[in-house]
Chains A and B, each alone.
Chain A
Amino acid sequence: MIAVPATFAWLLIAAQSLIFGTAAFALVTRGLASDSSIDFRRRLPALWRALTLALLVISPLAFLEMACEMAQTRWWRVMPLVPEIMRETDAGRAWRWRLLAVMVLAIAAWLPIRERTAAVAMMLLTAVLMLFGSIAGHAIDFGRLSIAIYWVHQAAAGLWLGALVSLMLGCGADPCQAQWIRAATPKVAALAAASVAILTATGLFAAYQRIGWNLHLLTDAMYGRTLLWKLASFAIVILLAAHNRLRVISHLDEAASRETLLRNVAAEIVLLAVVLGWSAMLANTPPPH
């Protein structure tokens, strides 16, 4: 039954991707006029605090679920094994560092530090979380290069999602909203395009390692079918993103286009959350034999 661990994994990757991506976007848009980005900068710390609290609660539960899968037992029976799992298994050791990084992240989110320092800290600490996530997953079967590529895949996902959520987050009342959309959208579009290229290359690489050219596994194995669902959801986001890029972005001076853009961006965020859900399922499904 992978529903419970996959749900935990989904919440974890969504939270850490969002913190990573919004922190990166805060750094990328530092040069923008302060009156246009005022709402974005005001709302960021609250978002980070809420997400780090979520990570603080879900991470130990996700670790326990993984321990249950390894020991093939229930939560209450796995408890006495936790110290041994953390000491003696690769995934347990990775989780020890991951839990520590989550605690540091939560503290950093509540410290009254300068905005730029906070953004750098959030980015670095979530990058560390992604690294330990890569080490405690399928990528470890294929060596260091695969772990690095898996990390890049997760980082690109975070950049894309974070840029889209940042755009929504910065929308307060007009005229600030119009200024923010006009200033931030080109940066969102550039980040999204780069992320899509990186996600496609690294995602296909990871898929090839797990499935090879055995294309029948795409339909015959649970892992392959999940991957197909993920690709289908990804294709819909791409269509929506392409529509925004080709039809909407060039008319941002018109209020109606800005409204359309925000509506489409909200839909893209929901669809990307679905893609993250499929990714979490993949991470919890044994690759086919």
Chain B
Amino acid sequence: MRTRGRTALTILTVAFVLGAAVPARAHSFPEQESPSAGQTLSAPPGEVSIKFDAPIENLFAKIEVDGADGKNYAVGDPTLTSDGRTLSIKLGALAPGVYTVKWAVVCIDTHHTNGSYIFTVKGPGA
């Protein structure tokens, strides 16, 4: 009985020591954006990219960049890095104004997440 108790305690300790190396994380939410959320840029960006906190599925990855006129300025299909974490999309010519990045992805654990954020492109001399 005593040996069994000790074995259980050892398993628990080992599990927690190993567990400490992989702390709790959320799944497939942006960790870093470029341009970043709320950023004001002096020149229009050529692309938008979002790094997620867990790998996502390319098949269901969606991203669009809408101007104040409601038009989507993203060009072509989004691309995903080989580690499955950074999603990018090329942009057409952006005029000065406020743009909304809307993303929707599926984490490799099958759960769906989506969200949006804005960035601003300043006009010349603004």
Task: Write the residues of chain A forming the contact surface with B, with a CB cutoff of 8 angstroms.
Answer: 66, 69-72, 84-85, 88-91, 136-138, 140-143, 145-146, 149, 193-194, 197-198, 200-202, 204-205, 208-212, 214, 286-289
Q: What is the bound-complex CA distance between A149 and B19, given in angstroms?
A: 11
Interface 1/0s, chain B 3-39, versus A by CB < 8 A? 0100110011001101100111111010000000000
A70 smallest CB distance to B (angstroms): 5
Q: List the 4 closest pairs (A to B, CB-CB), nearest first.
A: A212-B24, A197-B8, A289-B26, A205-B15
Q: What is the bound-complex CA distance between A211 and B18, given in angstroms?
A: 15
CB contact under 8 A between A141 and B57, given known A70-B106, A91-B110, A200-B12: no
Q: What A residues does B24 contact at CB under 8 A?
A: 208-212, 214, 287
A216 smallest CB distance to B (angstroms): 13
CB contact under 8 A between A197 and B11, given known A66-B110, A289-B29: yes
B59 smallest CB distance to A (angstroms): 5
Tell me which of A91, A141, A193 contacts B25 (CB under 8 A).
Answer: A141
Q: What is the bound-complex CA distance between A141 and B55, given in angstroms?
A: 8
Q: What is the bound-complex CA distance between A72 and B23, given in angstroms?
A: 29
Q: What A residues does B4 contact at CB under 8 A?
A: 193-194, 197
A214 smallest CB distance to B (angstroms): 7
Q: What is the bound-complex CA distance between A209 and B29, given in angstroms?
A: 17
Q: Are A205 and B8 in contact, with the CB atoms below 8 A?
A: no
Q: What B residues does A70 contact at CB under 8 A?
A: 57, 60, 106, 110, 112
The reply to whether the CB of B118 lies closer than 8 angstroms to some CB of chain A is no
Q: Are B15 and A202 in contact, with the CB atoms below 8 A?
A: yes
Q: What A residues does B8 contact at CB under 8 A?
A: 197, 200-201
Q: Are A149 and B109 in contact, with the CB atoms below 8 A?
A: no
Q: Are B110 and A136 in contact, with the CB atoms below 8 A?
A: yes
The reply to whether the CB of B94 lies closer than 8 angstroms to some CB of chain A is no
* Total A-B Cβ pairs within 8 A: 89
A151 smallest CB distance to B (angstroms): 14
Q: What is the bound-complex CA distance between A69 and B26, given in angstroms?
A: 18
- Identify the closest chain B residue to A213 (Cβ): B24
- Identify the closest chain A residue to B14 (Cβ): A201
Q: Are B26 and A85 in contact, with the CB atoms below 8 A?
A: no
Q: Are B54 and A209 in contact, with the CB atoms below 8 A?
A: no
Q: What is the bound-complex CA distance between A247 and B95, given in angstroms?
A: 80
- Identify the closest chain A residue to B13 (Cβ): A201
Q: What A residues does B112 contact at CB under 8 A?
A: 69-70, 72
Q: What B residues does A66 contact at CB under 8 A?
A: 110
Q: Are B59 and A141 in contact, with the CB atoms below 8 A?
A: no
A-B contact pairs, 9 of them (CB 8 A): A89-B108, A142-B25, A143-B22, A197-B4, A197-B8, A200-B12, A208-B16, A209-B23, A287-B24
Q: What is the bound-complex CA distance between A70 and B57, given in angstroms?
A: 9
B14 smallest CB distance to A (angstroms): 8
Tell me which of B12, B19, B29, B110 contacts A69 (CB under 8 A).
Answer: B110
Tell me which of A90, A142, A286 contacts B57 (CB under 8 A).
Answer: A90
Q: Are B11 and A286 in contact, with the CB atoms below 8 A?
A: no
Q: What B residues does A197 contact at CB under 8 A?
A: 4, 7-8, 11
